[in-house]
A and B are shown apart, each in its own frame.
Chain A
C-alpha cells in the first residue's frame, strides 16, 4: 500500500478514536452505575455501611411546602422567582433529649410546622399550639427559613424566622410556648432575607445574629413598582439585598452593627456559615452569593470583618453560590468548605466547590484550592443545600447534596434555552423581568435526583444514592442532619420546594462505632455555638464545629457526632470553647453520647 494511503488511514483512525472516546467513557460509567444499583439491603450494608428509608409518612410528618404567589407582573417567570422557601432546622426545643424539626412554608395563609419528636418514632406538629405556625399572613411576607439559638442563655433554644417580609424573633418560654419579641431587635420593616446564622462574633458569651439579603429590601414581590428587579449580571451583580449583623446587648435587645463591622456588600446572598477558617479562635463568615463571587470574612478579633475572598481564591471566580457547608473531609483537623453551584450537562457546568485550605496558613493569608473535581464531588445538578455527615460511621465524612430547581408541568420541555439567551445579555436586558421569555410550564433543571457521596477515606467519593436509597425526585432545597431516633446514626431530613418532606431513617452497620457530644456553655453562649471539638482516635483526628445554621436554609442538630469505624481506640477529645477555654476529655467510650458542660 502507498505510504500516502497508510497515512490517511492512520489519521482517519486517530480522529475516529478521539471522537469515540467520550461515548465509550459514558457507556462504561453507566454500566458501572447500573451494576452498583442491583444490590440488596444486606449487600448494601456490607458494601457501603448504611442504607436510607424515607419514613416521613410512618412518622406522621405530613407537611408539604407551598411556593409563594407573587405580583402577577412576574407571571412569565413566576416559578423562578418563587423558587425558594422550603427549609428545615433541627432543635430540641423542650430539652427532652429528642431532636425536633421546624419547617417553613411560603404562601400567604400557609403555616409553618414544628414537629415534636415523641420518642416512639412518631412526630406531632405543635407549631400552632406554641405560636410559631401562623407566620405567613398576608402583608407580612412569607418564611424562607429559620435558625435556633439560645440568645438569652436561659437554657432553651429561641427561634429566628427570616422572611421575604418582616423577619421574626421568638423567645422560647421553657418549651411551653413562644413569645414574639421581634420588636427587641432592630429588624427592617421589610427585607428579602434568605439566610441567617447565630454566632458569637465578639466572644461576649451572647449569641449575635447575621441575616443575609437576596432581593433588595425596597422590593415587595407582591406589589412591584418596577419589573427591574433582577440581577444586573449573572456573574458580577451588586444590586442584591443588604446583609445585617445584630449585636446581642444582653438585655434581650440587639443593635445593628452591620456598617461598623464592615459587612456592607449588596450581593445576592443565599447562604452563610460560620467557620473559624484560620484557627485563631474567632468565628469567621463564609458567604455564598448567587450571581457573583462568594465572600470570606475574617473576624478581626470581634472588631471588624475583612473580606479576603478574592485573595483566598474562594471569592475570585463568580458562580451561583447556593449553600456553604464546613467539614473536615481529610481528617486533618481543618475545616474544608463545600459550596454548591449550578451544573447542567451541556449547558452550564459551574461545578460545586470543595475549598481546602493550605495547612499552616493563618491570619488574613488563607489560600484555598478547589478539590471538588479531584474528589469526585463536583457535579451535583442545580444544587442547593448540602451537608456533611458520617452516614456509615466509618470515620470519614460523607456528603448529601440536594438538587433540582424548577420541575415544570412539562417534563420534556426545557427553559434552559430561554434562560441561556437572557443570562448572557447586557445588564439592561437581564435586569428587567419583562425581557424574560414566558416559562409556560417548562422545567429548568427540574426532576433531578439528590446526590449521596460516600467518602472512601483515601481521597475519593463515590455516588451511592441509587444503591442506598434517598434519591426521590423533587426540587430539593434544604438538608439537615440529626440523630432522630437516638441510635447513633445520622438521619437525613430534606425539605422540598412545593413538595413533601423526606425523612430518611439511617440504618448503619452496627460494627461501625460512633461517639456524640452535647455541649453546654457557661462562660460561652449556652448553645455552645462556635465551639470546636477535635477528636483523636486510631492515629487520626477530625475537627467539627457547633453551628447556628449551615447549608442552605437549614440547621443541623446541636449535637456533634463522629463516626469511628470498627474497633476504635479513642485517645482524647479536645474542646475549644468560644470563651477561649480548652477542655480535654479522656477515657471516652464508643457508642456513647456525652453531655459536656464548660468547666
Chain B
C-alpha cells in the first residue's frame, strides 16, 4: 500500500495547532463585527494590529538580531483592538506598543513574566483612564452566540492542551461569585453575570492560557488560576470593574518568578563531593 500518496492532500489543509488560537480570535472578531458591529469600523483595530506587528518586528530584530514570527503579535494586536474601548486612536497604538515592549523589557531569567496583553490593558487602565475603557458590552446578550463562543473556545483550548486552565478558572469564578454574593448581599445572578460577557471569553481563552506566561506543571497551572480567581474576588469586593485583569497582573508574574526559581534550583548541577 502506498501511504505517501494520500498524505499530500491532507498536508495541504494542515494547520499547526499553535495557530488555532490565532484563527479562533480572528473568527470571533469577524463574527462579532459582522453581526454586532463591535468595532465601530476597522481603523482602530488596524492601528492596534499594525502597531503590534511593527513593534514586535523592530524589537525582536534589535534585541535578538532575528525576525520573529508575528502570530503572537497579531493576537496581541487583536486583543488590544477588541478589549480597549476609546474614541481616540492613540490608545490603540500605545496599548499595542506597551504590550509588545513589555515582553522584551520585563524579563526574568530570560522569560517575560507578564502576560503581554494583560500588561498593556492594565497599563492603559491605570495611566490613561480618562481616555480608555475596556470592552463591557455584550454580543447580543442572547444565549446562543454565547454558548457557541464558549463551546468553540473550550474546543480550542482542549486542542492546545490548556482546557484544565480554563475549566478551573470558570469553576472558581462561579464558586467565588457565590462567596461574593454571600458577603455583599447582592443577587447571585448579578455576581455571575460578568462571566457571560465577551471580556471574560477573551480573558478565559486567551490570557490565562498563554503558554509563555503560565507555570510549567499542570497542577500548579490549576492552582494559579484558582488564586487568580480568588484575588479577583478581593478586587471585586472593592468594586474594581476590571478585577480579572488586575488579578492576573499581580498573580501571574509572582507565579512565574516562583516557578522559574524552582526550575532553576531543580536544574542546578548537583555539587559532587570530592572523594576524600
Q: Do A and B come from one complex?
A: yes
B133, A347: Cβ atoms closer than 8 Å: yes
Which of A23, A379, A429 has a CB less than 8 Å from the CB of B193?
Answer: A429
Residues of A close to B187: CB separation below 8 A: 434-437
The answer to whether the Cβ of B57 comes within 8 Å of any Cβ in the partner chain is no
Contacts of B88 in A (CB 8 A): 373
Measured in the bound complex, the distance between the Cα atoms of B61 and A7 in whole Å is: 11
Count chain A residues whose beta carbon lies closer than 8 angstroms to a beta carbon of B: 56
Nearest-neighbor residue (CB-CB) of B236 within chain A: A417
> A346 and B194: CB pair below 8 A?
no
B102 within 8 A of A: yes
In the bound complex, residues from chain A placing their C-beta under 8 Å from that of B124 are 22
Check if B127 sits within 8 Å of A420, measured CB to CB. no
Write the chain A residue with the least CB distance to B101.
A15
Per-position 1/0 for A322-365, Cβ under 8 A of B = 00000000000000000000011111110100000000000000
Residue of A whose beta carbon sits closest to that of B38: A317
A378 at the interface (CB under 8 A from B): yes
Counting contact residues on chain B (CB < 8 A from A), the size range is 35 or more
Output the least CB separation between A280 and chain B (Å): 28
A427 and B141 in contact, given A19-B127, A317-B40 (Cβ under 8 angstroms): yes
Partner of A22, one of B85, B128, B137, B240: B128
Residue B170 lies at the interface, judged by CB distance under 8 Å to chain A: no
In contact, B189 and A429 (Cβ under 8 angstroms)? yes
Given contacts A15-B98, A235-B36, A316-B37, are A422 and B190 in contact (CB under 8 A)? yes
Interface residue? A372 (CB, 8 A): yes
**Is B63 positioned at the interface, with any CB of A under 8 Å from its CB?**
yes
A21 within 8 A of B: yes
Q: How far is the CB of B236 from chain A (nearest CB, A)?
A: 8
Whole-angstrom CA separation of A345 from B123 in the bound complex: 15
- When A235-B141, A425-B189 are in contact, do A345 and B131 touch as well, CB less than 8 Å? yes
Contact status B239-A417, CB under 8 Å: yes
The reply to whether the CB of A592 lies closer than 8 angstroms to some CB of chain B is no
A436 to B198, CA, bound (A): 20
- Complex CA gap A11/B61 in Å reads 12
Residues of B within 8 A of A379 (CB): 87
Q: Which residues of B contact A19 (CB under 8 A)?
A: 98, 123, 127
Query: For the complex, what is the distance from the CA of A435 to the CA of B192, rounded to whole Å?
Result: 10
Q: Which residues of B contact A23 (CB under 8 A)?
A: 127
Task: Identify the interface centre among B36, B87, B124, B199: most chain A CB within 10 Å of its CB.
Answer: B87
Q: How close is B115's CB to chain A, nearest CB, in angstroms?
A: 16
Q: Is the CB of A346 within 8 A of B125?
A: yes
How far apart are the CA atoms of A427 and B146 in the complex, in Å? 11
B137 near A424 (CB under 8 angstroms)? Answer: yes
- Residues of A close to B87: CB separation below 8 A: 343, 349, 351, 372-373, 378-379
**Which residues of B are in contact with A by a Cβ distance under 8 Å?**
36-38, 40, 59, 62-63, 85-88, 91, 94, 97-98, 101-102, 104-106, 123-125, 127-133, 136-138, 140-143, 146, 184-187, 189-194, 196-199, 236, 239-241
What 17 additional pairs, Cβ within 8 angstroms, besides A15-B98, A233-B142, A236-B140? Answer: A10-B62, A11-B101, A18-B97, A22-B94, A22-B124, A22-B127, A236-B36, A317-B38, A347-B136, A373-B87, A418-B190, A423-B138, A424-B136, A424-B138, A424-B194, A425-B194, A429-B189
6 tightest A-B contacts by CB? A425-B193, A424-B197, A22-B128, A233-B141, A346-B129, A417-B239
On A, residues with C-beta under 8 Å from B are 7-8, 10-12, 14-15, 18-19, 21-23, 25-26, 232-236, 316-318, 343-349, 351, 370, 372-373, 378-379, 414, 416-418, 420-430, 432, 434-438
Supply 14 A–B pairs (Cβ within 8 Å), ascending by A: A7-B63, A11-B63, A15-B98, A22-B124, A233-B138, A236-B138, A317-B40, A346-B130, A373-B88, A420-B241, A421-B194, A424-B193, A425-B141, A427-B142
